[in-house]
Amino acid sequence: MDPVTISLVITMVIGAMDIAYRAIQIYQLLKV
């Protein structure tokens, strides 16, 4: 894979982790 594709995949993974982290925080707030 070329460096552009690798950097794009890394950005997508970090973005997905950030979205999941926020979703968990919102879920915990709504659960209480």
pLDDT at 9: 98
* 6-30: pLDDT as tens digits: 999 999 999 999 999 999 999 999 9
How many angstroms separate the CA atoms of 18 and 32, rounded? 22
- What is the per-residue pLDDT for 1? 82
- Identify the domain containing residue 32 by its residue range: 1-32
Distance CA 27, CA 15 (A): 18
Supply the pLDDT for residue 32.
80
Q: At 12, is the secondary structure helix, strand, or coil? A: helix
Q: Name the domain count of the chain.
A: 1
Whose structure tokens read 């894979």? Answer: 1
